[in-house]
């Protein structure tokens, strides 16, 4: 066994991996919906990115806090299991009749035992059988290149491979804005979105 050759090969693989990561592009910017005070929870995502993706180690979570889904919107990778803990002192009963991923968690009290596997891409609209005002969304996507905006509307999608993509900003099933982008190397592309509730 040639130990030196193995060592050189390993170093080469590490350097190549580092170069590949360094050469990946980034899409960042701001998104907002006209007429809304808060710019949080707008999901910006890429379409047409091919590949096989590993699910994150930490499962996504949508909590029940103060009789609200918290956060009210999350984006997840197809195949992800989402936890639905109840942090309130009252019972909840989260459910969805959305065709892509229907579910009904039934009546449950405070605790962390409820979860849902989201197998199919699409928009999943959430409600509570007990509290009719509760409303949330899970956006299930085909690839991990997505980000939700913070309270200032800022987002950042890193490590995007070279290519031409459709980029969408999504705030609800009927509030969507679409743009296109080309990425090559490690450049940063800034994209801003101003959505109208009447756009689709």
**What is the band of 142 on the pLDDT scale with cuts at 50, 70, 90?**
very high
Domain residue spans in the chain?
Answer: 25-51+146-200, 54-142
Contacts of 200 by beta carbon, 8 Å cutoff, 6+ apart:
174, 175, 176
Whether this prediction's pTM lies above 0.75 is answered by yes
Same fold, 25-51+146-200 and 54-142: yes
CA distances to 10, 26, 97, 185 from 15, rounded to whole Å, are 9, 20, 48, 16
Alpha-carbon distance of 15 to 29, in angstroms, equals 30
User: Under CATH, which architecture does the 54-142 domain have?
Assistant: Sandwich (2.60)
User: Under CATH, which architecture does the 25-51+146-200 domain have?
Assistant: Sandwich (2.60)
- Given the DSSP bridges, would you call strands 43-47 and 163-172 parallel, antiparallel or unpaired? antiparallel
Percent of the chain residues past pLDDT 90, beyond the cut: 76
Residue closest to 44 by CA, chosen among 24, 62, 26: 26
């Amino acid at each position: 066994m040639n130990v030196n050759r193995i060592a050189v090969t390993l170093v080469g693989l590490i350097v190549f991996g580092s170069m590949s990561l360094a050469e990946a592009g980034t899409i960042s910017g701001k998104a907002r919906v006209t007429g809304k005070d808060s710019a949080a929870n707008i999901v910006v995502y890429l379409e047409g990115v091919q590949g096989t993706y590993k699910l994150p180690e930490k499962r996504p979570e949508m909590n029940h806090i103060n009789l609200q889904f918290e956060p009210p919107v999350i984006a997840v990778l197809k195949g992800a299991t989402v936890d639905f803990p109840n942090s309130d002192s009252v019972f909840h009963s989260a459910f969805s009749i959305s065709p892509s991923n229907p579910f009904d968690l039934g009546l449950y009290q405070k605790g962390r035992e409820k979860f849902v596997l989201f197998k199919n891409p699409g928009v999943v609209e959430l409600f509570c059988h007990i509290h009719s005002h509760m409303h949330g969304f899970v956006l299930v996507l085909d690839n991990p290149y997505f980000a939700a905006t913070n309270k200032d509307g800022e987002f950042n999608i890193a490590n995007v491979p070279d290519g031409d993509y459709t980029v969408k900003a999504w705030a609800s099933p009927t509030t969507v804005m679409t743009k296109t982008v080309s990425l090559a190397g490690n450049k940063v592309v800034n994209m801003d979105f101003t959505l109208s509730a009447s756009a689709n």
